[in-house]
Amino acid sequence: MCGIFGIANKNKFLLSDVINSLKRLEYRGYDSWGIATNDDIMEKKVGEIPVNSNLGDGNAKVAISHTRWATHGGVTQANAHPHSDCTGNLFVVHNGIIENYLEMKDLLTQKGHKFLSETDTEVIAHFIEEKLNESKSPDEALQEFMKNSRGTFAVLAVRKGDNNVYAAKRDSPLVLGILDGGYAIASDIYAFSDKTNRAVWFENDEYAVINSSGFRIFDSDGKHVNRDARTFEWKEETQGHYYDHYMNKEIHEVPDVAKRLLVSLQREQKMQLEQLAGMVRKAGKIIFVAVGSSYHASLLGTFFLHKAGIDVQTIIASEFRDYTFVDEDTLILAISQSGETMDVIEALKTAKQRGARIASIVNVPYSTVQRMSELSIQILAGQEICVAATKSFINQVMLLIALAAELGYRQDYDKIPEELQRLFDFEDEVKKLARKLADSKDIYIIGRGMSYPVSREIALKLKEISYVHAEGMMGGELKHGTIALIEEGTPVIGLVDNEEIISNMKEVEARGAEVISISDCPTEFGGMQLPVGSEASFALGASMIGHLLSYYIAKERGLPIDKPRNLAKSVTVK
């Protein structure tokens, strides 16, 4: 949520280059964008970052920029970042939430500061200005800001005529990239992974002063911290084929990235997989923690691990504190594509305090969740740009199938990537179904056992990408209430991998529903029979068909598929 990008360079750079790097963070929010330099340029606008910004070259060697996902204050130009102090000489961009901003704003207003926006961020600029007015140095101003503020932040600041970028971090992600001739500093490595593979990650309550010749990191008391750069590996899939949306491209990458993961689990990540299985065997209690699609993956993981005789439960991260009992004997298995989801990070903090062990399954290397874990395995889905999780979801589930297999679940999962590839033969049928369902007000998806998490995953995609109200439900629960909503023609998709679901489909058919089946065997209903060889393969195949269906419905409806309204890919607020 919100992406920040800054640069300190030996040579002048094109402002459009800064905007291009910022654009790589647009999946973190796209309500408004802005840029400021140490050379008196400040520009901010509502809407998406333009492909061609027309900002000219400028003379700056230092710049900061921001792409916003609104939290405090509406989507307006005044609320767009950067925010400045009263003099207009200092600019800040921020990802996170300053929880005590109203208190700070009151104090600063009493001292004569004038606020122009409704944001929490603006207090940072005025607070620093106030400290500089008291003859404090920028370092001291940052230290005091960190002591006086509550909440989360990754902040960048620049001042006119000053060649430094100032940065501070608590809980929101911040990473420094080492460039030829300077440094980039950003919310995550995507922003600069086309320019460097060397980076320095910040820890909480640290601040830094960065210019083109070096960087210095300090703790909140101003004590210098030594931190070495690390080399990271990050796969950006090249486009061998033209796709009109990233979502479509990313779904079509599924077989390749699934194969890449399986190979890695047999080679480079073999030891980690065995270690994770060892941790699972030893733990007194195992709890998955995740949100959104990653939670649906964890539900499937629960199913597969139960098949291997392992008792495990899963909990949505934001409810972790109140709905789990955690002690030293507990293993927490966090699942997160970004590794930066604040709800997951908060749950891990609680678990750590209670003495639990932590392992994780992530996509983005060196992410906060990975760094909080004793052991972490990467799903190797590569960069996922569409806000909706597709290939990353499939690879999370693939990894959980492999983990369950390591623990005794018998499935021939090596063939899954090829089986998934063959399912693209159904693409025309999916398009036809999408045309039929495009005007639906509600769609119900029902499953039982293994298909239940798949039904929830498909429903989530129909809501977020196709803007259709959808419910993914346990087939057995229908008759306990929801069946009252079934009318003549209501679409109900049944995921058929067991006989009991057929009775639930008959129940809704008897009440006029338009029943569509996605199955691994012949059924009496219209729909698609997927040629898959195992239950694990059906779970993945039906999910992939569901992802395609939501994509084509959204396309029929002319929606902004890769950037659906109100959403962001990396949810770094509670």
Supply the residues annotated as catalytic.
Answer: 2, 569
DSSP one-letter string for 406-467: HTT----GGGHHHHHHHGGGGHHHHHHHHHHHTT-SEEEEEE-TTHHHHHHHHHHHHHHTT-
Q: Could you give the C-alpha distances from 133 to 80, 122, 129, 141, 334, in angstroms and in order?
A: 25, 17, 6, 10, 45
73: amino acid identity, one letter: G
291 belongs to the binding site for ligand F6R (CB under 6 A): yes
Structure tokens at 465: 């990408």
453 belongs to the binding site for ligand F6R (CB under 6 A): no
Identify the residue among 21, 37, 341, 451 touching ligand F6R (CB under 6 A). 341
CA distance 7 to 65: 9
Q: Could you give the C-alpha distances from 103 to 1, 120, 126, 127, 171, in angstroms and in order?
A: 24, 11, 13, 12, 21
CA distance 90 to 318: 36
Among the residue ranges 270-278, 287-295, 345-353, 527-535, the one whose residues contact ligand F6R (CB under 6 A): 287-295
Among the residue ranges 139-147, 158-166, 251-259, 336-344, the one whose residues contact ligand F6R (CB under 6 A): 336-344
The 171-200 site mask, x for binding ligand F6R (CB under 6 A), equals ------------------------------
- Specify the residue, 403 or 502, whose C-beta has the smaller distance to ligand F6R: 403
CB of 79 to ligand F6R, least distance (A): 23
- Specify the residue, 216 or 574, whose C-beta has the smaller distance to ligand F6R: 574
550 belongs to the binding site for ligand F6R (CB under 6 A): no
Structure tokens at 483: 């069946």
Structure tokens at 357: 């062990």
Structure tokens at 276: 């994770």
Span 377-436, contacts to ligand F6R by CB under 6 A? 388-389
- Specify the residue, 128 or 397, whose C-beta has the smaller distance to ligand F6R: 397
CB of 439 to ligand F6R, least distance (A): 23
Span 65-124, contacts to ligand F6R by CB under 6 A? none
CB of 390 to ligand F6R, least distance (A): 7
292 belongs to the binding site for ligand F6R (CB under 6 A): yes
Answer for the pair 545, 528: CB distance below 8 angstroms, yes or no.
yes
CB of 94 to ligand F6R, least distance (A): 21
Could you give the angle at the alpha carbon of 158 between the alpha carbons of 54 and 71, nearest 5°? Answer: 80
CB of 516 to ligand F6R, least distance (A): 22
**DSSP letter (8 states) at residue 186:** E
Buried b (16+ CB within 10 A) or exposed e, 471-506: bbbbbeebeeeebeebeeebbbbbbbbbeebbebbe
Identify the residue among 16, 95, 248, 294 touching ligand F6R (CB under 6 A). 294
> Tokens 């962001």 sit at which residue?
568
CB of 10 to ligand F6R, least distance (A): 35
CB of 298 to ligand F6R, least distance (A): 10
- Specify the residue, 264 or 550, whose C-beta has the smaller distance to ligand F6R: 550
CA 268 to chain centroid: 25
- Specify the residue, 508 or 571, whose C-beta has the smaller distance to ligand F6R: 571
Number of residues that bind ligand F6R (CB under 6 A): 14
460 belongs to the binding site for ligand F6R (CB under 6 A): yes
- Specify the residue, 13 or 393, whose C-beta has the smaller distance to ligand F6R: 393
337 belongs to the binding site for ligand F6R (CB under 6 A): yes
Answer for the pair 176, 215: CB distance below 8 angstroms, yes or no.
yes
Where do contacts with ligand F6R occur on this chain (CB under 6 A)? Answer: 291-294, 336-338, 341, 344, 388-389, 460, 464, 571
